[in-house]
Amino acid sequence: MKKNTLLFLVAAPLFALLLLGVRVYYSAVVWRYAGPETYFFIKPNETFGSINSRLANDGLISSARLFHRYSQYKGVMNKFKSGRYRIKSNSNLLDIYNTFINEKSLAMFFTVPEGKNMFEIGHMLEDAHITTYIEFIALCKDPAFVKKLGITGSTVEGYLYPESYDFAPGLPAEHVIKSMVREFNKKTAQIKFTDSGMTKEQVVILASMVEKETGDKSERPMIAGVFLNRLKIHMRLQSDPTTIYGMFETYNGNITRKDLLTPSDYNTYTVKALPAGPIANPGLLSIEAVLNPAVHKYLYFVSANEGTHIFSESYAKHQEAVDKWQKNAKNREGKSWRNKKAESTTTTAPAQ
């Protein structure tokens, strides 16, 4: 009797350990994710508990408790890095662990083209499920946040550098904006803005206008030269893109004479100086064009309908160019700035 009891007392725990071992082995190795290949996103500063819970709820791991214990045993609970990870079909718990700890996150590029403004970027971010438009724009316009970034303007417009970024879905707008502004500061670190006789803000404003006016990179110094020539003689810049920006959130795609005559801080048909702030986010080439403009006497330019412009010194010559290139339907027929693979352009220019 005592011998049987002793055997039971010894065998029972061993059997329990065996069952536990089998269960652990099954959960860690035998059980497999049966769904199709998918992607799992770890958000910046996301806690292990949140990651573990989502993995279990999505059916990607067999046991949240086992995944927790194993990660704890390995001492990696605070080493799960944010990013986008590929989860292959038929992966077991150990495969999932290895994906997060020993493999790099996949690049998920979000590209900001040159010349896009913050409203357009906001919609692009929302479409990519990175952050919401409302949150993004609200922060772009937040005076305290803008000042904290070291920007002297009223918004972050002009400093959201056009580049490809590795942004995962669900990022806070603050993270997105800081990344873009940080890239702007990095790309312009060696530029001495004040050597131009203008402030950094003025250079960025003018560069954003140059960016919007032409899709031909080689023309940017010429366009910059026209605007600078006008500023020197206190002549209105009369740039349609600035007027459009001033009403961008309600802009329907058509600009009218009434719009050009309606005063606003961005309407350069009524303002005798630069607009109140940048109207887009320029690339490095447009900034450099403002700092190193072409030296000439041109005060006017008009689109030749395929990405380039006709420049004139006098209003009379400009009107001749307008009649030829804008009012002559034959010269407009079948032509497009896209033939030049333009990044951004307008069909109008300073008129008087």
Three-state DSSP string of 227-266: HHHHHHCCCCCCCHHHHHHHCHHHCCCCCCHHHHHCCCCC
Please answer whether residues 227 and 206 qualify as being in contact, where contact means their C-beta atoms are separated by less than 8 angstroms: yes
Rounded-to-integer distance, Cα 232 and Cα 298, Å: 12
The per-residue pLDDT for range 107-157, each reduced to its tens digit, is 678 899 999 999 999 999 999 888 999 999 999 999 999 999 999 999 999
* pTM greater than 0.75 (yes/no): no
Does 332 have pLDDT greater than 70?
no
Domain boundaries, the chain: 22-102, 109-187, 193-340
> Closest Cα partner for 307 from 349, 341, 348?
341
In the prediction, which pLDDT does 194 show?
86
112: Cβ–Cβ under 8 A, 6 or more apart, which residues?
Answer: 121, 124, 160, 161, 162, 163, 164, 165, 180, 281
Give the CATH number of domain 22-102; options: 3.40.140.10, 3.30.1490.480, 3.30.10.20, 3.90.1170.50: 3.30.1490.480
Report the distance separating Cα 181 and Cα 233, nearest Å.
33
Closest CA to 306 of 266, 285, 336, 343: 336
Q: pLDDT of 193-230, one tens digit each?
A: 988 899 999 999 999 999 999 888 899 999 999 999 99
Q: Is the Cα dihedral 193, 195, 196, 198 positive or negative?
A: positive
How far apart CA 203 and CA 208 sit, in angstroms, is 9
Pairing status of strand 164-166 against strand 300-303: unpaired
